[in-house]
Structure 1
Amino acid sequence: MGPLNPPRPELIVGLICFFSVVGVFAKLLVPRIQKTLTEREDAIEGTIGRAEAIHDEARRIYAEYQAELSAARHEAAQVRQTAKEEGAALLATLRAEGQKQREHLVAAAKTQLEADRIIAEAELREDVFTLATELAGRIVGEPLNDLPRARVIADDFFTKVDVEISTKK
Structure 2
Amino acid sequence: MSGTIAGLLTAAEEAETPNPLLPETYDIVWSLFIVIILGVVFLKYALPKIQAVLDERTELVEGGLAKAEAAQAEAAAAKDEYQQQLTEARTEAARIREEARAEGTAIVAESRTRATAEAARIVENAQRQIDAERQQASVSLRNEVGELATELASKIVGESLADEARRSRVVERFLDELEASTAADAGKGN
Question: In structure 1, how many angstroms separate the alpha carbons of the residues matched to 2:41 and 2:137?
Answer: 136
1:50 to 46, 53, 67: 67
Letter in 1 for 2:58: E
Letter in 2 for 1:26: L
Map 1:19-30; keep pairs closer than 5 Å: 19-30=36-47
Deviation of the 1:32 alpha carbon: 1.0
Partner of 2:116: 99
Partner of 1:63: 80
Deviates more, 1:56-65 or 1:22-31: 22-31
Deviation of the 1:117 alpha carbon: 1.9
Question: In structure 2, how many angstroms separate the alpha carbons of the residues matched to 1:10 and 1:95?
Answer: 118
Question: In structure 2, how many angstroms separate the alpha carbons of the residues matched to 1:37 and 1:3?
Answer: 42
Does 2:169 match 1:126?
Answer: no
Letter in 1 for 2:99: T
Deviation of the 1:110 alpha carbon: 0.8
Q: Point out the structure with max Rg over C-alpha.
A: 2
Paired residue secondary structure (2:161): coil
Aligned-residue RMSD, C-alpha: 2.9
Partner of 1:76: 93
Question: In structure 2, how many angstroms separate the alpha carbons of the residues matched to 1:18 and 1:79?
Answer: 85
Question: In structure 2, how many angstroms separate the alpha carbons of the residues matched to 1:27 and 1:107?
Answer: 117
Question: In structure 2, how many angstroms separate the alpha carbons of the residues matched to 1:98 and 1:134?
Answer: 52
Partner of 2:126: 109
Deviates more, 1:10-19 or 1:102-111: 10-19
| Identical aligned residues as a percent | 38
Question: In structure 2, how many angstroms separate the alpha carbons of the residues matched to 1:13 and 1:72?
Answer: 83
Instruction: Give the TM-score normalised by structure 2.
Output: 0.63
| Structure 1 unmatched ranges of 5 or more | 151-169
Map 1:136-151; keep pairs closer than 5 Å: 137=154, 142-146=159-163, 147-148=167-168
Deviation of the 1:115 alpha carbon: 0.6
Letter in 1 for 2:113: A
Letter in 2 for 1:87: G
Instruction: Give the TM-score normalised by structure 1.
Output: 0.70
Equivalent residue pairs, number:
150
Letter in 2 for 1:95: R
In structure 2, the CA distance between the partners of 1:3 and 1:31, relative to structure 1 (3 Å rule), is: farther
Deviates more, 1:38-47 or 1:120-129: 120-129
